[in-house]
Structure 1
Amino acid sequence: MGIDFLPDKPIYQQLIERITGDIIRGMLKPGEKLPSVRDYALEVGVNANTMQRVYKELEQMEITETKRGQGSFVTEDVKKIALLRDEMKEQLVQSFIQNVEALGFTTDEMVAHLTERGGEND
């Protein structure tokens, strides 16, 4: 299948973000087995070494765990997943604020606009 990667960010980081996003959205459940490195590499169209690095990074972040002879699994620690969710939310907010400030918008302007837009979804 393969996926389209952004040219300005390392592929392994994009894959980490994809997997952590799947965990946060609940598409990957606590304790769920991940595909093998080779299978996932084929699925997304990357080298198996890249996928191995992704799995290693996720394990170092304590988001996944490897069980010898069984494979890699999403952590069962729901507190860790909640913390990951909060950290990602904070990163998104910081990035958003930096971008809007760089364009000259104030935080108050953006809050007002977001509040208006929030009412559109009701």
Structure 2
Amino acid sequence: MDYPLLNAFWTMCLIFLWVMWLVLLFTIISDIFRSRDINNWVKTGWLLVVLLLPFLGVFLYVIARGQGMSEREAERAERQQKQLQAYLRETVPTGDEASRHADSLAKLAELKNHGDITEEEFQKAKAKVLA
């Protein structure tokens, strides 16, 4: 094996830097597309600069619009959080509904355990309670 340990370390560092570069490049490209504060011609210009002169384009974009990137990302995360909360409010039962469902399921399980209803009847009633 004719590959010294220092060369292996240097190769790993270069691979790490290359992956970081790709992540940064794709982050900037996605930020260009997501920006609502610039028109399509400006987006096209930034995209051409970033794709044709990648290093210079990325550095210029970070200098010119870097502060806005974090603000836009924070707004996007906040919007997603609000959408998730709205979805959960619609789908997850509230405290009263949840306790009512739990009480109904407990009564059904008790009836099934005592033999008052069959397994099939229990499954049908459970489906009605959970619907």
From the two aligned structures, give the one with the greater helix fraction.
2
Q: Relative contact order (alpha carbons < 8 A, sep ≥ 6): 1 or 2 greater?
A: 1
TM beyond 0.5:
no
Select the structure of larger CA radius of gyration. 2
Kindly indicate which of the two structures has a greater share of residues assigned to strand.
1
TM-score normalised by length of structure 1: 0.32
